[in-house]
Structure 1
Amino acid sequence: MKHVHANGLDFAYLEQGSGPLVLMLHGFPDSAHTWSHQMPALADAGYRVVAPFLRGYHPTAIPAGGYYDKKTLVTDVVELIRVLGGGEPAHLVAQDWGAIISYAVLAAFPEQVRRAVLMAVPHPAEVAKSMLIPKHVHRSFHWWFFQLPDLPERALLDNDGAFIDYLWSYWTSPGHDDAAHIADVKAMLARPGVLTATLGYYRAMLDPHKADPALAHLTPLIERPITVPTMALCGADDLRAELMHDQGRHFAGEYRYEEVAGAGHFLQREKPAEVTRLVLEWLQK
């Protein structure tokens, strides 16, 4: 475990290999360890692979009174690239919240990223349209549940984190077993202050008053077409796949979309060999 100071915060990260920087971003409820299958393979292929624990995810610091809006998270990632990459652009591989953040990074700061792989979450314009479709509202019920004060924290930790087990079961393909990894995630989220910090992402997503006003200038930038060469991946069993079929119009540069058979939302865990192959193929192109 290593640490780096970026955007005024102490970030913990995992690292393997040497060479061009590949930054790998996790989602919720998850951690940097989600990339344990991909990191050794990318390191063996000649990359320096860094997987940070995002803002508020232990052992990264929880900022006192800090922000969790998208523009703050984008600034975190851009500063991590600048500090860890020594001024050179990085490759970006991201899933779930990592992908939500990364769509905005690619739009606002294309000079910071060589090539990108974004997994399991559609472009924000497609997400916005999905909020009017009943089955997708049902799929993302947690967005609204997490807006409540206190109750989500209690529910997620009750009964040895059964709610977290439910989310993983709901979002993955039948028969997927990742008990040891999920147990580690639950232990991390149970640490003081961590769960409220991670739920802050969702609360800021639907409440503009929770955004850092100092970053308002980034709003038009994160809405620009994406010019960075990007591959989008989704598990074929993830309902969100149907939202990603036609999102190529949001990309002004090289773009590719692939579905991974037999995988749901956590495709990097469910079909690690196939995801690793696709990532390496794209980064080496």
Structure 2
Amino acid sequence: MINRRGFGTAVGVSAAAVSLTGVRGPQIASAATAAAAAPGTHAAFPQLKQIRAGLLNVGYAELGPAHGPAVICLHGWPYDIHSYVDVAPMLAEAGYRVVVPYLRGHGTTRFLSERTFRNAQQSAIALDIIALMDALKIEKAVLAGFDWGSRTADIIAALWPDRCKALVSVSGYLITNLEANLKPLSASAEHTWWYQYYFATERGRLAMEDKTLRHDLTRLVWETVSPTWDFDDATFERTAAAFDNPDYAAVVIHNYRWRLGLADGEHRYDALERRLATRPVIEVPTITLDPERDPFTAPGNGASYRDRFTGAYEHRTLMGIGHNLPQEAPAAFAQAVVDVSHI
């Protein structure tokens, strides 16, 4: 049994802004020690599944009992479902039905129609997950994610709280405000976002379409945003295979250009984007996680987004951990899911 002290020792967890005091789920069980939950314990998922959902044929991993409480784990960029390769078995062992989908443009997920615009604006991706839940007959789930996955989970929690039992969001409140994105940041912050501006150019688009250049660019991002994560070549290559999706470049480029106001979305999502522009609060029970060594982590130990969460809430900072938090600190991520689901 992994106790909380073991988590704190293993990944340097500190808690702040706690309002869930005394509310804890059962501790994640493993082979008996925290060492069994170390990053890299698992190399792959069981055989993947496919299902038609909305505009997509979604590829996904599923572990755990079919009638267990549902948890949907959402990856970011430049990552894939393997960010949860150690998290998912721990949650499945604890009795959860764990679903880990490839987002549009990644892995084995495909658009059903060649005519569909390869759109990656935030509301479109969120609706993909609602459609997946419908297809899998999941009425309500704990949503957990980082990067694109945090944003997607935040949106569902804010706009469709009836579908979200609880939320684990790495880096807090990530719903995009297009107007705010037009304002310059500090020089150091702009430097951290270098690839976003690269993708705004034709050179950046061509680089994402070139397999070798894409490979080297995404690996560089891994190295710079997770400076303490000593991943090996095999770990990166397992994820990089998901970037060979024929729609990958188009989806990634549109996502970052849309965020900067350099690419249009689709009118069908206008009403949702207007609601998101108001920065809607999230009322479902939430644990936010800040990776301390992630260059994107805002200062203030979660203070910058605290007012966006109005329900039961706890914030945790993971010392020494970088951007790909669930793969770097799987035990701490899994425990957050268990804890937030037992409020």
TM-score (norm 1): 0.90
Q: Choose 145-154 or 2-11, whichever is displaced more.
A: 145-154
Task: Tell me the equivalent position of 1:102.
Answer: 153
Aligned pair 1:9/2:65, yes or no? Answer: no
Measure the CA separation in 2 of the matches of 1:6 and 1:131: 38
Matches of 1:238 and 1:284, distance apart in 2 = 28
Which of 218-227 and 20-29 deviates more? 218-227
Q: Is the 8 A contact 1:17 1:48 kept in 2?
A: yes
Q: Secondary structure at the match of 1:242?
A: coil
Show the 5 A alignment for 1:135-150: 135-150=188-203
2:253 pairs with 1:199 = yes
Match of 1:257 in 2: 315
Change in Cα spacing, 1:191 to 1:150, as seen in structure 2 (3 Å) is farther
* Distance across 1 between alignment mates of 2:157 and 2:214: 38
Single out whichever of 68-77 and 272-281 deviates more from structure 2: 272-281
2:122 maps to 70
CA drift of 1:160 comes to 7.7
User: Corresponding residue for 1:245?
Assistant: 302
Would you say the 8 A contact 2:254–2:263 is kept in 1?
no
Give 1:242 deviation, angstroms: 2.6
The 2-side partners of 1:45 and 1:175 are apart by 26
Shift of 1:209: 4.7
Q: CA RMSD in A?
A: 2.4
Partner in structure 2 of residue 54 of structure 1: 103
Unaligned runs of 5+ residues in structure 1 are: none
Separation in structure 2 between the aligned mates of residue 32 and residue 92 of structure 1, nearest angstrom: 14
Q: Per the alignment, in what secondary structure is the counterpart of residue 241 of structure 1? A: coil
Relative CO higher for 1 or 2, CA cutoff 8 Å, sep ≥ 6?
2
> Which residue identity lines up with residue 331 of structure 2 in the other structure?
A
- Structure-2 residue corresponding to 1:233: 289
In structure 1, what is the equivalent of residue 89 of structure 2? 40
Partner of 1:284: 342
Larger Rg: 2
More helix as a share of residues? 1
CA deviation digits over 1:81-103, x for unaligned, max 9? 222244x2111011111112222
Identity of aligned residues (%): 25
Unaligned runs of 5+ in 2: 1-47
**Number of the residue aligned with 2:131:** 79
User: Hey, what does 1:267 align to over in structure 2?
Assistant: 325
CA contact (8 A) 1:268 1:275 kept: yes
C-alpha distance 47-175 of structure 1, shift in aligned 2 (>3 A):
closer
Pairwise CA distance, 1:125 = 7.0
Cα distance in 2 for partners of 1:209, 1:199 equals 9
Would you say the 8 A contact 2:107–2:241 is kept in 1? Answer: no
Instruction: Name the CA shift for 1:70/1:124 in 2 (closer, same or farther; >3 Å).
Output: closer
Q: CA deviation at 1:148?
A: 1.6
Letter in 1 for 2:129: V
Once the two structures are TM-superposed, the CA of residue 132 in structure 1 deviates from its matched residue by: 2.0
CA distance in 1, matches of 2:154, 2:267: 21
Q: CA deviation at 1:178?
A: 4.1
Q: 2: distance between equivalents of 1:162 and 1:103?
A: 30
Residues 182-241 of structure 1 show CA distances to partners (whole Å, capped at 9, x for unaligned) of: 112223213444233333221222237521101211124333111111111121112333
What SS class does the counterpart of residue 136 from structure 2 fall into?
helix
